[in-house]
Structure formats: C-alpha cells, structure tokens
Structure 1
Amino acid sequence: MSWGLVLFVAFCVVAAIQIFYYGYFFRHVGAWKPPAKEASRQHPVSVVICARDEDENLARNLPGVLVQDYRSTHEVVVVNDNSVDDSRYILEEFQKTFRFLNIVELQQEAKLIAGKKYPLSIGIKEAKHEVLLLTDADCVPASEHWIYKMQDAFRDGIEVVLGYGAYQKLPGFLNKAIRFETFHTALQYLGYALAGKPYMGVGRNLAYRKGLFFRNKGFSAINHIPSGDDDLFINKVASAANTTVVLDPDAFTLSRPKTTWKDWMRQKNRHYSTGKYYRRGHQWLLGLYTTSYFLFYPLFAAAAIVYDWRLALIPLALRLLTIGLVWRKAMKRLGEDDLFPMFLFWDLWLFFYYLIFAPAVWKKPKKTWN
C-alpha cells in the first residue's frame, strides 16, 4: 500500500469521525424543541451569584435579575466575597427596594479551598429553596422570563438544567471570535447532554437541586482545583436520566466579553485546565473529536498532494456539508446566526484555535477565581 493511499484512507477516517459527531451529537442543538408538558410548575427558586470586586457589574446587571417576572416564591442570594470596592454599598441600596435580596458578606479567605468554590458553597448553604439557579455578576438575563423558563424544566427525576450563556454582540473581530468559541463549546456540551451524555455546564447559566449538591458533598472532591465549580461538578453528578437543557432565547444570559486578546486567552487557558479531570469516557470522546478536527486539514492537504486531489474533495465536501447544515440550525437556535456567513473561515479557524490552546490542558491554573 502506497503512502498516498495510506494518507487518503486516514483522511477519510478522520472525515467520517467528524461527520459522526455532528450527526449523532451536535445536530440535536439545532433540532431542539421544548418538551410537551400538560402543565407548568413554579418552584420556589434561589438565584445564587458570587461577586468579588464587581461593583460596576452589580450595578449594571443585578437589576435584570431582581426585576424578573416570577410571581412565585424566590430569592436572590449574592455572596460578596471579600470585596474591597463599593459592592457592599451597592447591594445594600438594592436591598432597600428588593426585600428578597439576601446579601452574604464574606470577610475571610478559605486558604485551603481554591477558586470560587468556597463562596459558592456558602451561598448554596444560605439558599432557602431547593431549586438553585446560578449565574455570574457579569451576566444579565436575556429577558424577564429567565427564572421561569429555567425552573420550568424541573420535573420528577430532573436534577440538573443546562442553559446557554451567550456574550453580547459588539463590533470587531475579537467579539465574533469569542462568540464563535462560545457557540462551539455550547454545541458540544448541549449536544452531548441532548444525546444522553452530559459532561459539563457553564456557571453563567446553570440550575440544579440543592439536595443533589449536598448528596454529593458539594465541591469536596475538587476543592484543590482552582476552577471547576461548574463543569467538574456537573461532570460528576449529571447523567442521562437527571439532566435536561433549556434553549429558549428568553432563558439565555448575556455577558460582556473580554476586549483584549490577552485577557481572553488567559480566561480560556483557565477554563481548559479542568478538562484533564473529566471522567475517562468524556475525556476520550472530547479528545477524539478535537484530534480529528486538528488532523482534518493537514491530512486533506497531504492526501490532495500525494494521492489524488479529486478524490480528496469528496470527503471534504461531505464533511463541510454536514457541518454547515448543523451549524446553521444551531446558530439560529442560539441566536448566533450572524456568524454563519463566515462558516468556512470559522471551520479553518478552529484548527489554529486548538493549536494555540492545546498546552492549557497541561498548564497549572492560577488559584484565584476573579
């Protein structure tokens, strides 16, 4: 067997792997429809937010949480984690108007617990209600129906609800790159969950039951890891039977994206540092997808040059058609359809993206969460 044929076969295998992932996992995002329900329920809800030196974000975004159109019992718990700015005074002013705002002041560090886990654990312990809805201080709900839409997904047996945390649309290429990466990440964790293999959630928009948190001893198994209060915890407790997703645009949250490449790369390096702690099966599935994506274009170039470029175009076209169809529907579902005209560019961009961020898997993350 000639080297040209070997490269061509390898290219076909990689293309087939990509098509499988998009056909089996990721297509579900664009095809998502809310499940039919005979009646909706309004559970008592505790919204939990952790903030450290976030006075500007609290002043800008907290009103969007406090004025939710949710008539049933609910509270908003804000954990002010050792802030030295004006966060305390801003929260106290809000509390004068919104009596259901519960402020938790932390004035000492948990030296043996890295990252955000200690303040979040305190906020969960202080929460009065079983259904916990989590977001960040730099996030604002996309609508006044956010609480209602997220809690409405809970039913018998459901203990985890995954939502979409989008970024605001701003001018410039960096904004588009950040939003595409966010879309692509969501395509994976939401697609896996809809296919019955949930592996992570994002703390910008995530809900679970308080009982689930305590049955699994909170974050005790991952307290030594700076990140992971969202993805690693969900990786541990989520299953096909107890997890669902909500992809209604009214249930999204919006965050202000980073404005410099340096800040964004630092953020992504921190996020990717937790992947090595996922369950082995999830690591294998995610690794196979990433490896196949990384190899696709180099193998295409090699097969086209060394073997036959006309034959190499067939797997290329089939894969691009599959990905294009899935991305178009999923981008429309997640409100990112303005990114689709650059579809071919984003597909090639992911090769360089994986090349840049691959070292993050082995880097030691920093110990602060903000």
Structure 2
Amino acid sequence: MKIAIIAYGFSGSTLPLAKHLRKRGHIVTCFYLVDPGTSSLEGIDFDCSYLRPGIHTVKSSFVNQYFVDDEILIYTVVLVRKRQNLGNTILNKIIGKIDHNTIYGLCDRIKKEKYDLINLVGHTHPMELIGKYLLDQKLFYSLHEVMKNHAEAKADANVAASFALKNGIPIIVHSLKSFNDISTFSRKLGNTSFLKLIRFGMFETFQEYRQMGYNPEISDNFLLFIGYILPYKGLSILYDACELLEKERILNFKIVVAGKGYDPILPKLKANKHFILKNKYITNQEFVDLISSCKSVVCPYLSASQSGIPQVASIFSKPVIASNVGAFPEVIRTGKNGILIESANKEELAAAINKIMCDNQYYDNLSPQLLGADESFLYDWNFICNQYEDFFNEIVN
C-alpha cells in the first residue's frame, strides 16, 4: 500500500513504524509539522534548520544512516503558528493565513499523490483541520493522547479525538488506558468509530547515536529524571523521597534532572547537593548520553496517559521506577524491568530508589530490555506491523 504519515511530533514512534512497514513492501512517506528553525525532532537530527513556511524535503545524514536502503521520503511542514500574546492583531491574522495556505497545500498534495491510506498522528490543532480537508480520503488517526488534560478527573476529549469520533474516522491508540478513555467518549457520543489498540515499540532511532557518556566527574551510579518538566511529573515527590534517603544516610549517589520546563520545586533541587539540574532543552545526543550512562530512570508522575521514556530506556537496558498511572503499568513490571509505585507516595518511591540503586543483586536480576516483561511481544515492531496490516485491510475492505 501507499501510505502517508502526517505527524505533529511523535517521530520517535513513527519513524520505526515507517521503516518496518517499508521492509514489508509498503510505500511510506512521512510529513512532520514543525516550527520555523527546527533542526531536529525526537530521535532524528537534520543537516540544516528549516525556516521558510511550506513543505521541505528533509536532508539528514542521520536519516540516511537509519533507513539505509529503505526508500522513505521525509518532509518537514513548517508552520509559523499564531502567537497568543499578539491577540487579534493584523500580524496574527497574516500568520493564520500563511499557515492555512501551507496546510491546504499539504492536503492538496496528499490528494494528488493518491495515497491508499493516510495516518494522522497527533492530538492538537491543526490535526483536526487536516482531517477536515482530507475527509474524502481513506484516513485514520493515531492518538497518543485522547484527553484535553489527563490531570483532570473528568477531562473532555481533545480536538483530534473529538473530530475523529464525530466523523466516524478509525482511531488507533497505543495504551489500554487510552483505549478505555476513547471507548468511553465513543459510547457517550453513540459513535461507531473503529477503535484499535496497537502499542508502539522501542524508539530505535536513538540507537544510531554514538554513546559518548555523560560526565567523567559523575559515575554511572546516578538516577535520572529526564523529559519536559511540568508539575504533574512529580519532581516534588522525588525531592521528598530523596530527603528521606538522606536522613537514613543511604543517599550515596547523584540524581540528575534534565529537561526544559518549570516546576516550583526547581530552586530546591538546584540548592541540594545531591541533585544535578540541567534545566534546558536536551538534544537527542544528550538524551542518549544521559540514559546510556545512568543506572536507572525515574518517572514519579502524579498523572499520565503514556510516556515514551520506557521505550528509550529499554534500548539501553536501564530499569525504570515509575508511578502506577497511565500506561506505565503496561510496560513496567516490578521485579522484571523496574519497579512500580503508588503515585504521590514518597515512602514507596524512596524504598524503590534504594532497592534499584543500592541492592546490586536485585538490580542484576532485572531484564530492563524487555518492555512489558512477559508480554514483550506486544512491543515488537514485527508483531506491531502485523496488527497494522490487519487494521489496513479492515479499513480498505
């Protein structure tokens, strides 16, 4: 089949999917929506940045290295995006017009190239607008998030999920948590959308980066929190747990917190000698250096839908300590590839950190390379492609 993937982010999961589908004979083209000046995406670096609005062929030695002989075309779709602080100004109206023309041009191109299937990946604007322009095509959505805000107990469906459900467009989600959420929304609407649960596998592109190590001044005995920093990700609980360990005089390792963003706890982390704070954008190379050098990764989230962190940690055989929220229980099994704890429980988190970081026998008996532990086959790209092909046939036929 001839397949177009149009994604707003999520290159970590879509690039391996494209590669494995291509190996099965499908023709796959990827379009990634980006901001002006973008020179990289999750798990992929470009040879240059793309400033001008419009569609650009990606030039990347990294892409050539990953795909080798697989003929896959990758494009960036540069959108200027309206600025909230500009309000209803003439400049914002001009920006809106430019982006509208770019999106319309993309959809017109997709129609002219006559794809058998179009996969829209992403849950925020303008993914619903792209779907609107392509309603007369064979399309389906892949949604990593289905709620507007997973931190709210009674959150509404996000714009892409709402649009797909209201228009009966088939939807793939990637965790049981998201499947249950989208099924609930579907029932409320009395909807007949075709819903499918298909996991995503390891983010293979990160394997292409050379493991350079993190910092010679820090041993590999450090705990790592990595990713965009937001209050719901539980850094305050991590801080409290480490204070408990410090009181018991068993905190003999560093905790590296790396990522852009803000949490009110950051000043305390910066002042604490046990924490190393890298509060900035983390490049793909830095991401690999940190994960490949740490002893374990920690995700003490207060709420979640799912996360790609375990998909990268497993590549480098690093166990994950995670809260029992979202999709973490589906990929992390205590005693197998990490430890699950109750959310917001500093005592449980402290005990789990101590177990992973200080009990070498326990650590050595883990199999952190196995996502889902005994159900690791669910995260194998060959099995995943089988599910996609069954899904394709159901849509087309």
Higher RCO, 1 vs 2 (CA within 8 Å, ≥6 residues apart):
1
Higher strand share: 2
Higher helix share: 1
Q: Same fold (TM over 0.5)?
A: no
TM-score by length of 1: 0.30
